[in-house]
Amino acid sequence: MAHDWRQFLVLDAISATKHGLTSRAAKHPGLTWHDHLVMLLHVAAEIEHGLMVQYLYAAYSLGGPDAATPKRQALIKRWQTSLLKVAKEEMGHLLTVQNILRLVGAPVHFGREDYPWTVPYYPYPFRLERLTRSSLACYVHAEMPPHIAKTLKEPPELSKRFEDFLETDKAEIARLIKERAEGPVHTVAAIYDDIIDIIGNEHLIPDSAFDDETYATQASWDDWGRSYGPEPRALDPSGSTVGDPLRQREANVIIMRAATRTEALAALKAIGSQGEAVHLETKRTDELSHFERFLKIFQEFPDDWVPARNIPDNPTTRKFERKGANYIDNDYARHWATLFNYRYRLLLTCLTHSFRLARLSKAGEPNLRGMVMHRIFGEMYNIKTISGVLVGLDLHKDGTAGYAAPPFEMPYSLTLPDGEADAWRLHQELLQGALDVTKLLLEKATGTGRDYLIALSDLDRRAIATIDALLEGQGSKRK
């Protein structure tokens, strides 16, 4: 999915303009400030999407022969839980960015480049890879607060908590990133700082740019966050926490809607805070920032055993010569990977469609958006399940190159057809494509994998029939 907007994005420190703005990215003279803002929001969406799938891939990579002891299994389980929580929270960030795009009159954007790639502002070049000390260094750096050394040295409590980071880890992280030699690295905060500067400047983005009528059609926590909010803490009569105060809570998914400039700024700042904020209370570690969670794993990461499976970087179902990509040439594993890609595309298609349906819904009509939302959560489950299958299958036919893994390959397009009936037909086509691959897999699948495929096929056929009935009821079914 090549983007022509790259020609407009130049990452340079520039002097303040007459409006008093100092930005990391010079605005191209061929763009208005509104254009420039929308472009940066698109980049932010791609960053959040990219981080989410990289964290998922790292989480699915954990396990393998070295994780045989109960102690190691417990450690890996905790790391995997932490990675999955952060990935869920990145999903919330992605949806919040879509809300800001809607607020400023721009289309939603769920795309990203396929691997391997880099772009200005991206924290580090995109790579699907198993969890290693090197990849963790990238994750820590991406979520690191600006001016980290100064921030941590000032309060005595922070200086003590992060003593190892300041004395050894920070330099080690810089060394590991340099060894990768893949290009420039940035923190996630960089792009949000620039977006906040632009949105906050009424000379650049006037009040008329914000459409408060989009508020009702934006993604909300009621739709997305109910399963992902932190569970309430039990307190004793004195107000103290009951139970282990160091136990990390469930993912706290931030999905914020906005109708005004002030609300947009608050939403963007909340995203940044969840990623990089360093908590000042030395005993409250139940809602650590992403930076702190990754740093904790980095500091615990072993030198004497390998906690991840032997899976490749950037697995692909596409047979082409591309640096950094690893073709899955085991036919059975590749069919599973192709099914994964269908489920991933269905998820992204449903996400895009959910925003359009929110605008089109009318009182008294069937809740079509609710049906799509239900499918989104179903596809999330499918992605997790198929990933678990893939990491247990040989990458190559001869079984000599480790295991396969989820490819997260982007489709050629995520653009929905203009006609609503055609958009529903796209769902049907993707479901039928998935059914065709499932039929191939059932020729060889056994055990729980076979049971899953049979159940999935039944659900897909029902979904196709439901859409048929919908199109017929609208008088849109083709004969």
**Together in a domain, 110 and 255:** yes
Give the residue-averaged pLDDT of 191-219. Answer: 94
Q: Is residue 307 part of a domain?
A: no
**Residue 342 and residue 224 in one domain:** no
Q: At what angle do helices 70-103 and 290-300 cross, to 10 degrees?
A: 160
**Total tally of structural domains belonging to the chain:** 2
Q: Tell me, yes or no, whether 226 lies in a domain.
A: yes
207 shares a domain with 327: no
How confident is the model at residue 369, as a pLDDT? Answer: 87
pLDDT for 450 beyond 80:
yes
Between residues 223 and 291, the one the model is more confident about = 291
Residues 377 and 256 in one domain: no
**Residue 417 and residue 365 share a domain:** yes
Same domain? For 275 and 420 the reply is no
Query: What pLDDT digit, counting tens, does each position of 378-430 carry?
Result: 999 999 999 999 999 999 998 888 999 999 999 999 999 999 999 999 999 99
Which range (61-70, 192-201, 259-268, 434-443) has the least confidence? 61-70
In a domain, 365, yes or no: yes
Instruction: Note whether residue 32 is domain-resident.
Output: yes
Give the pLDDT confidence of 105-157 residue by residue, as tens digits: 999 999 987 655 556 788 888 899 999 999 999 999 999 887 776 667 666 66
Looking at residue 257, its amino acid is R
- pLDDT confidence of 20, banded at 50, 70, 90? very low
Residue 192 placed within a domain:
yes
**pTM of the prediction?**
0.88
What percentage of the chain has pLDDT greater than the value 90?
59
Asked whether the bond before 146 is cis by omega within 30 degrees of 0, the reply is no
Residue 71, domain CATH: 1.20.1260.10
* Residue 305 falls inside a structural domain: no
Q: What is the pLDDT of residues 159-184, one digit of tens each?
A: 666 888 888 898 999 999 989 867 77
Per the rule left: phi > 0, alpha: psi between -120 and 50, beta: everything else, 20 is left
CA-CA distance, 469 to 429, in Å (whole number)? 15
> Of 273, 300, 327, which residue sits at a domain end?
300
> Which pLDDT does position 328 carry in this prediction?
96
**pLDDT score, position 236:** 47
**Claim to verify: residue 322 and residue 296 sit in the same structural domain:** no
Average pLDDT of the residues in 187-216: 94
452 CB-near residues (< 8 Å, 6+ apart)? 385, 389
Q: Are 319 and 173 within one domain?
A: no
- How far is it, in rounded angstroms, from Cα 78 to Cα 74? 6
For residues 295 and 436, state if they share a domain: no
Mean pLDDT of the 285-293 span: 78
Range of the structural domain that residue 121 is part of:
4-300
Structure tokens at 223: 């739709």
Same domain, yes or no: 164 and 291: yes
Of the residues 266, 300, 334, the one at which a domain ends: 300
